[in-house]
């Protein structure tokens, strides 16, 4: 899925197209998470996302993804992963229940350029305090990784920051194995891989024009995953709950630009004391 391609460097105009795609993703995620409630099906959430993407004149990144490789294309506009499902949950007739932890992953294409992001929410109140903390830590790990992306640094500086945040907590969270962030641009999955753990100072340098999808995926138990018979849905091997947060970012001469945040990341970056550097917004 990732191998064999050099890192794609975008022009400012291409990054602006990615920002347009990122805003569509942000709008689709806001619309779907706002409707998460007991009794709604994951298929109904998929229809909401499809409507937002279509009304924006964009194209879903996920729908039929993989069919060009003979893998059988993904059948949804979004991935909806519930409780022990880590990623790639297929939307359908599953009914959400009070306390469920729901991770929604969405991608959109504008003028040939992709945006990709994910967020996790609970159906009503979290089932347990441990699940609530898992969601908070995964979100914190995402922003730790974003904050570690600096011009001249290395891609694994992001990885080390994510792992460092996770390991600083009292709970021994699993960092889902063999699942990584990625480069993104004219394709959804591109070089370089962005692991969620590892030593800093390795991998390609972070340069202007690079775009990365950073996406920690944590579990309350084992990091080991398995793929269900649908050939898409990845679950924890031990049945423990999982959580997924993701943003597509770029780093400019002035700072960080979160392409899939509605405000470009301005509010969160200010809270963390990190520089905000949009090309336009």
Is 30 a residue whose pLDDT tops 80? Answer: yes
pLDDT at 3: 38
Structure tokens belonging to residue 49:
């996302």
Which residue from 248, 221, 263, 223 is spatially nearest to 119, judged by alpha carbons?
Answer: 248
Average pLDDT (84-110) is: 98
Q: How many CA atoms lie within 13 A of 74 on its CB side?
A: 22
What percentage of the chain has pLDDT greater than the value 90?
95
d(CA 177, CA 179): 5
Partners of 249 in the β-ladder: 212, 258
Average pLDDT (174-202) is: 97
Q: How many CA atoms lie within 13 A of 27 on its CB side?
A: 17
Determine the 3-state secondary structure of 266 from DSSP: helix
Confidence band (pLDDT; 50, 70, 90) for 42? Answer: very high
Confidence band (pLDDT; 50, 70, 90) for 4? Answer: very low
Alpha-carbon distances, residue 210 vs 24, 137, 138, 227 (angstroms): 20, 26, 24, 31
Which residue stretches of 65-202 are H helix?
129-147, 155-167
What percentage of the chain has pLDDT greater than the value 70?
97
Asked if 134 and 243 touch (Cβ cutoff 8 Å), the reply is: yes
Is 1 a residue whose pLDDT tops 50? Answer: no
Q: In this structure, how many other beta carbons lie within 10 angstroms of the beta carbon of residue 274?
A: 18
pLDDT at 66: 85
Average pLDDT (25-47) is: 98
Q: In this structure, how many other beta carbons lie within 10 angstroms of the beta carbon of residue 204?
A: 16
Structure tokens belonging to residue 223:
């990091």
Confidence band (pLDDT; 50, 70, 90) for 69? Answer: low
Return mean pLDDT, the chain: 96
């Amino acid at each position: 899925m990732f191998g064999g391609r050099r890192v794609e460097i975008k022009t400012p105009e291409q990054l602006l197209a990615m920002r347009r795609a990122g805003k569509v993703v942000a709008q689709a995620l806001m619309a779907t998470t706002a409707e998460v409630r007991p009794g709604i099906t994951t298929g109904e959430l998929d229809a909401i996302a499809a409507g937002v993407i279509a009304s924006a004149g964009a194209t879903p990144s996920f729908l039929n993804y993989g069919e060009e490789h003979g893998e059988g294309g993904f059948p949804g506009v979004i991935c909806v992963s519930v409780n022990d499902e880590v990623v790639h949950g297929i939307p359908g007739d599953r009914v959400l229940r009070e306390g469920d932890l729901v991770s929604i992953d969405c991608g959109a294409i504008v003028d040939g350029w992709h945006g990709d992001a994910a967020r996790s929410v609970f159906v009503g109140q979290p089932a347990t305090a441990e699940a609530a903390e898992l969601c908070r830590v995964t979100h914190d790990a995402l922003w730790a990784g974003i904050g570690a992306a600096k011009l001249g640094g290395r891609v694994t500086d992001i990885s080390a920051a994510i792992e460092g945040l996770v390991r600083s907590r009292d709970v021994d969270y699993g960092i889902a194995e063999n699942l990584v962030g990625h480069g993104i641009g004219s394709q959804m999955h591109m070089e370089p891989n962005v692991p969620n753990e590892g030593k800093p100072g390795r991998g390609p340098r972070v340069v202007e024009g690079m775009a990365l999808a950073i996406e920690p995926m944590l579990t309350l138990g084992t990091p080991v995953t398995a793929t269900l018979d649908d050939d898409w849905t990845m679950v924890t091997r031990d049945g423990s709950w999982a959580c997924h947060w993701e943003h597509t970012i770029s780093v400019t001469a002035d700072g960080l630009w979160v392409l899939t945040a509605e405000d470009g990341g301005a509010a969160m970056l200010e809270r963390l004391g990190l520089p905000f550097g949009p090309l336009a917004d």
